[in-house]
A and B are shown apart, each in its own frame.
Chain A
Amino acid sequence: MASRRMCSLLSHSLTSPTSSAALFSRGNIGRNIASPSRGISKYSTAAAIENPVDPPFEVKHTQLLINGQFVDAASGKSFPTLDPRTGDVIAHVAEGDAEDINRAVAAARKAFDEGPWPKMTAYERQRIVLRFADLIEKHNDELAALETWDSGKPYEQSAKVEVPMLTRLMRYYAGWADKIHGLTVPADGPYHVQTLHEPIGVVGQVTPWNFPLLMFAWKVGPALACGNTIVLKTAEQTPLSALFAANLLHEAGLPPGVLNVISGFGPTAGAPLASHMDVDKFAFTGSTKTGQVVHELASRSNLKPVTMELGGKSPFIVCEDADIDKAVELAHSALFFNQGQCCCAGSRTFVHERVYDEFVEKSKARALKRAVGDPFLKGIEQGPQVSNAQFEKILEYIKSGIESGATLESGGERLGNKGYYIKPTVFSNVKDDMLIAKDEIFGPVQSIFKYKDLDEVIRRANATLFGLAAGVFTENLDTANTLTRALRVGTVWVNCYNIFDAAIPVGGYKMSGHGREKGIYSLENYLQVKAVVTPLKNPAWL
């Protein structure tokens, strides 16, 4: 449901920006907010971003979480986490490195080998995770504010979609805990054969900065349901919400050592985790480039299996029979959602030539209407990019698009003088060999391509190293079925986009990754299969 709300929130409720107000206007969380009277009706109104809303929460947890305790880094080092609205420091966070990873893995190892977590009944594990979900619900607004503050995503999206989705996911996985089935297996002779689905052990997980809490749920949820223990490294851009959530999980009754959270950087904390000899499984979400490094580290150390959700350059195909207004809106949200910082972003919009001109014109109009500004304000659809590095990178790609001859329909530059805001950018007449057609930009840059027939668009849509997702927009059943099977991607959304229910698996073909998260498929990542065979004497049947 949450994801359906996500879709409708994106497609409808935010299209007509309302008068602005800080979202903290209700209840006790509104006390520190100066009531802003500035209006945000579209991105060109930049005044709001000059005087950012002061989030009414204090950052409570900045240390590493090891063996159920918040502790400083062994080195004593810390790093600043920045507010992308301003570039100012939110907090200094303990910076974990190899030594902290060792401590965390040792705690997780002990919690796995000695218990009680894997030895508990699944029902007890389930009850702890359900209590955690209740606690998240209770702290919904606080978690949402932390998420927005650290990452720049609209608070409405955090509070109404992402944090509720976190509770939804945790409840979903809680329900799996007591339904993990091995099989009894037929044998060719007189043997009794069964498979035990055992927890895999100590799991290392690395989450990205674009959906810190949702990725926490995708990773931690199934690992816990299956009875594993975890060392989680969060992205250095967004360490705050995971620490808060992990603390709630302990409040819910999670035994110490089961979930350890290390803030830190990829080369110094992520790498020692990926190459740790005592980590049995690794799961990573992030860029394809880092995914390759992670895979190498895993294979060079103890050959731990690796699940990876990597980059994408997902096609969104608008057929000639499509309802253009709906398609424009959906293609717009498919790309611009979360400041364009989605691995599944519909970053290649293929439009049939018969409807191309109308589509481009309307897409441009929609982008110009997009409400960009302080993510803490009501009605804002787009906040700042997560960091200066991302911001600069996106502007470089925009420059490259202009230089390579694509037509800039809207945007193309930063918004205001402060923080990492970028105007919603639409390119038309994009050609397949341009850099903006090939690389994952991870920003608010829509590229529109023209095509003639189905075979052509299938070929072009598949002509990429990636294979994460695709959108198909048509009323024709046969076209929908043909495209669905022909596209080499892990998810096809037909007449919808970004539907991320708990039960729907997500994952990539090709260089978009290995394995699937969410749904029943995610459990496989965190289970070992043990076949048990014993002879049968005089069996009644085989």
Chain B
Amino acid sequence: MASQNSDDSSASIFVKNPTIKFTKLFINGEFVDSISGKTFETIDPRTGEVIAKIAEGDKEDVDLAVKAARQAFDHGTWPRLPGSERGRIMMKFADLIEENAEELAALETIDGGKLFSMNKAMDIPQAASSLRYYAGAADKIHGEVLKMSRELHGYTLQEPIGVVGHIIPWNFPSIMFSVKVSPALAAGCTMVVKPAEQTPLTALFYAHLAKLAGIPNGVLNVVSGLGSTAGSAISSHMDIDVVSFTGSTEVGRKILQAAAASNLKVVSLELGGKSPLIIFDDADVDMAADLALFGILYNKGEICVASSRVYVQEGIYEELVKKLVEKAKAWVVGDPFDPKVQQGPQVDKKQFEKILSYIEQGKGEGATLLTGGKPLGEKGYFIEPTIFAEVKEEMLIAKDEIFGPVMALAKFKTIEEAIKRANNTRYGLAAGIVTKDLNVANTVSRSIRAGTIWINCYFAFDNDIPFGGYKMSGFGKDFGLEALHKYLQVKSVVTPLYNTPWL
């Protein structure tokens, strides 16, 4: 059985609670209280206890932040700096993040229940490396000179789009912050960031570092608060030019509606997923089992691209299931500060209860519970790694995004069947393929209607790889140079030519 190391005696060894330095809204370069004076509590998911009270921004605060961003865009230096100079400031920002990596990693752990070791090795360095990637892109934004059919000279300018609203989720607070903010900064935009109410701490810390790095006041504003008030104010704001959101499909729809009803602002949405991992008979079973398990348990299953549907070809099904269960039982759940621990608590009570109710639903629908299925410990939001077998397409646990450590396992016979079942979802975020056969890999890659395909790997993110969904997983890309273009407008400029020697 998965073990839990977060009983009272061991937990205290690993507690590295950082001092909370930033709890106010960051508007126009200053930390300020919300206009209403209201605050909300951010909770440690290991214990359910309050970490800090955070200023709760709502519509009036968003208005102030947008005003600052608008001023910084319309009259400030940021969009008027050469890209190379924006890049220099962003490089400095990245260096500061690296210098504060330990503290940021600890904040991320107490606020989100994420593994401290992973935060330090992966999430925080990734936040810095995203900034560096887009810093290097800031002086490489090319328009084009166009081929005209008459005596005209035509070219395109790639202009910063203006004021951006970023609404980011709680599962990867640092990476999502950086992945949204970096390309917008590189493009020359100004912005208002609303972090998730579950995990506001690192975003406020980043605001402080941005100021230290030399990002001018008003360019980057952070308004912590709730989706229904602050998030909604951003998506319906008449002076925001683009809103970029990562979160649930349900909220994504509201944002799109608000954008349409207000000023028709451009929207980019990274939403939910129910990503299939398809394991073929020729796979290395041990490697496939590791990938499948990692695909669903990484970050407690709180990842939009989790491999939450695992399809295994019948020839290796029994062997693979055996390995999966063994490995799941050896998986260590506990205090995320403990370096031996592989899985911390779910982010909050609501998620914890939702996941448990899906598990009950799975049992009720007749799926076979192979392992897990229960909460762990008396305190906090820990859940056992859970695997259901014989999951049918029509079951809720095969259709809904659970966002927890719950795998739905099914058997298939042919490649055609696998493709058909993998595509039988309203989502289309990612898919994994495990095979040694080149033709199978190529055929399945093109057949799956999803934004990312991982062949013999999973979660292979990279700065240069565009990431985003098909179908109801959203539209628009994060990462890569594609993301930069979300924050750029194309302007075509045309003027007549006389006596041109060529066209």
Contact residues of A with B, CB < 8 Å? 1, 123, 126, 130, 168, 171-172, 174-179, 181, 192, 477-478, 481-482, 485-486, 502-503, 520, 534-541
B156 at the interface (CB under 8 A from A): no
Cα(A502)–Cα(B139), bound, Å? 9
Q: Which residues of B have CB within 8 Å of A171?
A: 84, 87-88, 136
- Give complex CA distance A485, B502 in Å: 8
B500 and A503 within 8 A (CB): no
Given contacts A1-B84, A485-B497, A520-B142, contact A178 B463 (CB under 8 A): yes
Assuming the contacts A126-B136, A175-B137, asked whether A481 and B481 have C-beta atoms less than 8 A apart, the reply is no
Cβ–Cβ contact A503 & B139, under 8 A: yes
Is A540 touching B129 in the complex (CB atoms < 8 A)?
A: no
Q: Which residue of A lies closest to B437 (CB)?
A: A537
Question: Is the CB of B350 closer than 8 A to any CB of chain A?
Answer: no
- Give chain A nearest CB distance to B187 CB in angstroms: 15
User: Is A537's CB under 8 angstroms from B439's CB?
Assistant: yes
- CB of B153 within 8 A of chain A? yes
Contact, CB under 8 Å: A481 / B495: yes
B443/A179 in contact, CB under 8 A: no
List, in ascending order, chain A residues with CB within 8 A of B364's CB.
none
State how many angstroms separate the Cβ of A478 from the closest Cβ of chain B.
Answer: 6
Cross-interface CB contact of B140 among A126, A478, A503, cutoff 8 Å:
A503
7 tightest CB-CB pairs across the interface, nearest first? A175-B136, A540-B447, A540-B446, A537-B439, A485-B500, A539-B446, A486-B501
Cβ of B434 to closest chain A Cβ, rounded Å: 18
Instruction: Report chain B residues within 8 Å CB of A477.
Output: 495
Is residue B135 within 8 Å, beta carbon to beta carbon, of the partner chain? yes
Contact A520 B140 (CB under 8 A): yes
B19 within 8 A of A: no
Q: For B137, list chain A residues within 8 Å (CB).
A: 175, 179
Report the bound CA distance from A481 to B153 in whole Å: 8
Q: How many residues of B contact A (CB 8 A)?
A: 34
Inter-chain contact B135/A482, CB cutoff 8 Å: no
Cβ B142 vs Cβ A179 within 8 A: no
CB-CB < 8 A to A538: which residues of B? 443
Q: List 11 A-B contacts (CB under 8 A).
A: A126-B132, A175-B139, A177-B136, A179-B464, A181-B464, A477-B495, A482-B498, A482-B500, A520-B140, A534-B438, A539-B446
Residues of A with C-beta under 8 A to B133: 178-179
Within 8 A of A (CB), among B89-119: 91
Expressed in whole angstroms, the minimum distance between the Cβ of A489 and any Cβ of chain B is 13
A172-B139, A178-B133, A503-B140 are known contacts. Are A534 and B84 too (CB-CB below 8 A)? no
Cα–Cα, bound, A154→B464 (Å): 42
> B161 CB to closest chain A CB, in angstroms?
21
Complex CA gap A45/B500 in Å reads 49
**B85: Cβ under 8 A from any A Cβ:** yes
B136 & A482 in contact (Cβ 8 Å cutoff): no
Contacts of B153 in A (CB 8 A): 481, 485
Q: What is the CB-to-nearest-CB distance from A165 to chain B, in angstroms, rounded to a whole number?
A: 11
Contacts of B87 in A (CB 8 A): 171, 175
Would you give the shortest CB distance from A162 to chain B, in whole angstroms? 16
Question: Does residue B442 face the partner (Cβ distance < 8 Å to A)?
Answer: yes
- Taking CB as reference atom, which chain B residue is nearest A177? B136
Contact check, B464 vs A1: say whether CB atoms are below 8 A apart. no
Q: Looking across the interface, which residue of chain A has its beta carbon closest to that of B141?
A: A503
Q: Within the assembled complex, what's the spacing in Å between the Cα atoms of A478 and B498?
A: 7
CA A123 to CA B227, docked complex, whole Å: 36
